[in-house]
Amino acid sequence: MKKSSGRFLLFVFIGLLVFNVSAETEKALKDVVIPFELADYVILVKCRINDAQEFYNFILDTGGLTVIDKTLADELKLKQLGPQAKINTLYLGEFAVEKVFVFTNFDLQPLRSSYGIDVRGIIGSDILEDYIVTIDYEKQQLVLSMDMESLAFEKQSNKAGYFLKFTKHPINHAPMITCRLNGNIEVEAMIDTGQPYPLVLPLKELARTGAIKQKSTLKAKGVVVKWPGTISPDNFLARLKCFEADRLKIDNIITVFAELPALLSVPLLGGDFLSRYLIKIDYLHEEILLDPKTGFQGLDHSFSTGLHLEENGENHLLVRGIWEKSPADRAKIQVGDLILEFNSKKVTPKLHKDLWLLLNDDKIKAVELLIGTKEGPRKILLKKEILI
């Protein structure tokens, strides 16, 4: 009887152990849903660091490395290791990632001044690559999964989606897909959720794609888009005849041409393009699913006033750039003018984001502005239109 009792207890112990392991495995495989906000097509995730109770805005950037603002790193007294700091626990929403090393030598002020949002960091592919990452722009949800079989199963059952193989960029681990421009120009393009435009190409591609000869191509006065470490202020806006990636094909895709950082000077596929799909990135098997969204209408970057603003360090909004031939250009707004009021509201730091949203909301057809010029204040009703 004693032997039987001992065996029985052993079986019970093993059964409980197996149950606990299974429970832990199931817990590990359970999808984690993290809500996010959108600023244009830039994804903002609320993040918490170590024991701090405050949540901070971090950009979800598949085309970047994980970064924290240096002042915030100092404020939280993070341990600094050369150009990096160590975070014991980084919370994406309520999801905890342990022992994260983040870069602190990137200036995030241009992001804050462009969007009027207090951006304090970036979540990059170096963190995301441990998961299957689902990005749903329509529901504004980020899903992290450890179930590496889920995408393989979906590949068998999904008839509408586009499954594309990718490689990882050696610097930032970003997904890189092979695609064709205008039918015969083959390039490697980066999946880049950190920038809002559909397609960004290096300036050298202006001639190769033929965009420089298109009558509809617009040049910027001042600067519309700029990347850290770049020199040239030149920006162009055009429509490429055709973009293809395997079976996926898009005609007349809006394209921005700009100087890109030397080590990352590759075509970028951004939020305006990605938001048309439910996106699943399987970093382990290096495959991405772009599942077309039906009925979801995002922003249209060609429907615009042509006006681009930034904070000037004195809590004022400065005209940074204007697309030629746009409503802003025809209204004779100049680079360097100040925005004093919009829709009869005085511009204050707290309202910068509100004005930015008005200028980027397709449902808003016009904005009344009081402009501060060298000749004095001038009131303008600025209507949006299709630029190209």
- The number of distinct structural domains making up the chain is 3
Q: In this structure, are 349 and 322 located in the same domain?
A: yes
Q: In this structure, are 252 and 174 located in the same domain?
A: yes
E strand residue ranges, 26-127? 32-35, 37-39, 42-49, 56-61, 67-68, 79-81, 84-92, 95-103, 119-124
Which of these, 63, 297, 268, lies nearest to 181 by C-alpha position?
268
Q: In this structure, are 158 and 261 located in the same domain?
A: yes
* CATH number of the domain to which 316 belongs: 2.30.42.10
Backbone angles phi, psi at 139, to 5 degrees: -85, -10
Write down the pLDDT at residue 245.
95
Dig out the tokens for 218 from the structure. 């617009």
Distances (CA, A) of 43 to 77, 193, 218: 27, 7, 27
Strands 67-68 and 42-49, bridge-based pairing: unpaired
Fill in the DSSP letter of residue 220. E
Q: In this structure, are 317 and 209 located in the same domain?
A: no
Q: For residue 297, is it within any domain?
A: no
The terminus-to-terminus CA distance of the chain in angstroms comes to: 88
Write down the pLDDT at residue 156.
75
Q: Is 344 in contact with 355 (CB distance < 8 Å)?
A: no
The HSE-up count of residue 123 (CA atoms within 13 Å, CB side) is 27
Q: For residue 139, is it within any domain?
A: no
The last residue of one of the domains, among 240, 259, 292, is 292
Q: In this structure, are 160 and 288 located in the same domain?
A: yes
Q: For residue 54, is it within any domain?
A: yes
The last residue of one of the domains, among 292, 314, 343, is 292
CA–CA distance, 116 with 354 (Å, rounded to integer) = 8
Q: Which domain range does residue 200 map to?
A: 154-292
Dig out the tokens for 205 from the structure. 């591609």
Strands 366-373 and 235-245, bridge-based pairing: unpaired
Write down the pLDDT at residue 299.
59
Q: In this structure, are 163 and 277 located in the same domain?
A: yes
Q: For residue 298, is it within any domain?
A: no
Write down the pLDDT at residue 135.
97
Write down the pLDDT at residue 308.
92
Which of these, 278, 297, 300, 298, lies nearest to 289 by C-alpha position?
278
Q: In this structure, are 252 and 345 located in the same domain?
A: no
The last residue of one of the domains, among 99, 134, 169, is 134
Q: In this structure, are 318 and 353 located in the same domain?
A: yes
Fill in the DSSP letter of residue 374. T
Dig out the tokens for 62 from the structure. 């598949």
Write down the pLDDT at residue 157.
76
* CATH number of the domain to which 60 belongs: 2.40.70.10
Q: Is 189 in contact with 82 (CB distance < 8 Å)?
A: no
CA–CA distance, 200 with 195 (Å, rounded to integer) = 9
Q: In this structure, are 220 and 247 located in the same domain?
A: yes
Q: Is 269 in contact with 254 (CB distance < 8 Å)?
A: no
Q: In this structure, are 111 and 162 located in the same domain?
A: no
One digit per residue, the tens of pLDDT, for the chain of length 388 reads 444 555 544 443 334 444 443 333 334 457 899 999 998 889 999 999 999 999 999 999 999 999 999 999 999 999 998 999 999 999 999 899 999 999 998 888 878 777 778 899 999 999 999 999 999 999 999 999 987 676 777 777 777 789 999 999 999 999 999 999 999 999 999 999 999 999 999 999 999 999 999 999 999 999 999 888 899 999 999 999 999 999 999 999 999 999 999 988 999 999 999 999 999 999 989 999 999 988 666 556 788 999 999 887 677 889 999 999 999 999 999 999 999 999 999 988 888 888 888 888 888 999 999 999 999 999 999 999 999 8
Q: Is 359 in contact with 367 (CB distance < 8 Å)?
A: yes
Q: For residue 222, is it within any domain?
A: yes
Q: In this structure, are 279 and 333 located in the same domain?
A: no
Q: For residue 49, is it within any domain?
A: yes
Q: In this structure, are 255 and 160 located in the same domain?
A: yes
Q: For residue 7, is it within any domain?
A: no
88 alpha-carbon distance from chain centroid: 25
Q: How many CB atoms lie within 10 A of CB 73?
A: 23
Write down the pLDDT at residue 244.
96
Question: In which order are the strands placed within the sheet that holds 132-136?
Answer: 32-35, 141-145, 132-136, 277-282, 287-292, 162-165
> Is 6 exposed, middle or buried (CB count within 10 Å of its CB: 0-12, 13-18, 19+)?
exposed
Q: For residue 273, is it within any domain?
A: yes
Write down the pLDDT at residue 338.
94
